């Protein structure tokens, strides 16, 4: 006759053996952190609305660059969890993007509208500020608080941040549209609408040549 104590020992041994013999459970795949509130790049207003915004902007020569540094515009900031602004834009603007547990894009493809190129690695992608930080400084951001400059540099709610090829972003630098415009002229309409709207939204000034170029680029929307 098997005692209750012996029965319990036998049951425990059987369970231990089953655990040893059971196949290992595969580790769960790392899913991309959620960026559901910023899945689509913000669309700038229509051309006619931006023309009206341009008419309301102050036209003046560029301000001095005295005191400027990129550090005056803190970026990239953490948006949620381990995801900073760059990674959120990479996820938002890419196709088939896979992120690791640190929110880094490890796979995917990105279309660069500035030069009509498709990129197959995040290392080839820059996040461009539509209105560059130095240009903003020369047109009014020199008087802003650090918090406002930080908000400008990490703005996911307006058409200010775009995933583009590193080569096109570095070719653009801090130049205004009269000095540099996308080689892909099919993008001029969107580019001028976004640029003009950001300048208006943040109360930044424009130079006369900049305004004239924006108006001519807006004409491509017709």
Give how many domains the chain has, as a whole number: 1
Q: Is the peptide bond before 143 cis (omega within 30 degrees of 0)?
A: no
Measure the CA–CA gap between 91 and 180, rounded to whole angstroms. Answer: 27
- Asked whether residue 16 is assigned to any structural domain, the reply reads no
pLDDT of the chain along its 222 residues, tens only?
A: 444 444 444 444 443 433 333 333 333 333 344 333 346 889 999 999 999 999 999 999 999 999 999 999 999 999 988 899 999 999 999 999 999 999 999 999 999 999 999 999 999 999 999 999 999 999 999 999 999 999 999 999 999 999 999 999 999 999 999 999 999 999 999 999 999 999 999 999 999 999 999 999 999 998
Stated pTM of the model: 0.83
- Asked whether residue 28 is assigned to any structural domain, the reply reads no
Q: Which domain holds residue 65?
A: 42-221
What Rg do the C-alpha atoms of the chain give, in angstroms?
26
Token code pair at residue 106: 């490890």
- Asked whether residue 93 is assigned to any structural domain, the reply reads yes
Q: β-strand 83-84 against 125-129: which pairing, if any?
A: unpaired
């Amino acid at each position: 006759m098997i005692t209750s104590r012996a029965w319990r020992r036998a049951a425990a041994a059987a369970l231990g053996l089953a655990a040893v013999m059971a196949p290992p459970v595969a580790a769960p795949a790392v899913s991309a952190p959620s960026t559901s509130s910023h899945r689509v790049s913000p669309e700038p207003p229509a051309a006619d609305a931006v023309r009206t915004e341009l008419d309301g902007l102050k036209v003046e020569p560029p301000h001095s660059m005295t005191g400027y540094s990129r550090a005056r515009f803190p970026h990239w900031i953490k948006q949620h969890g381990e995801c900073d602004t760059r990674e959120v834009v990479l996820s938002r603007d890419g196709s088939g993007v896979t992120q690791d547990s640190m929110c880094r894009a490890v796979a995917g493809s990105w279309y660069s509208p500035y030069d009509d190129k498709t990129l197959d690695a995040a290392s080839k992608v820059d996040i461009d500020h539509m209105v560059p930080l130095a240009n903003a400084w020369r047109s009014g951001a020199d008087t802003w608080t650090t918090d406002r400059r930080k908000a400008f540099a990490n703005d996911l709610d307006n058409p200010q941040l775009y995933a583009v090829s590193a080569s096109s972003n570095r070719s653009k630098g801090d130049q205004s549209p009269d000095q540099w415009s996308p080689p892909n002229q099919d993008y001029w309409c969107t580019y001028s609408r976004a640029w003009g709207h950001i300048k208006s939204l943040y109360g930044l000034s424009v130079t006369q040549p900049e305004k004239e170029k924006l108006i001519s680029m807006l004409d491509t929307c017709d």
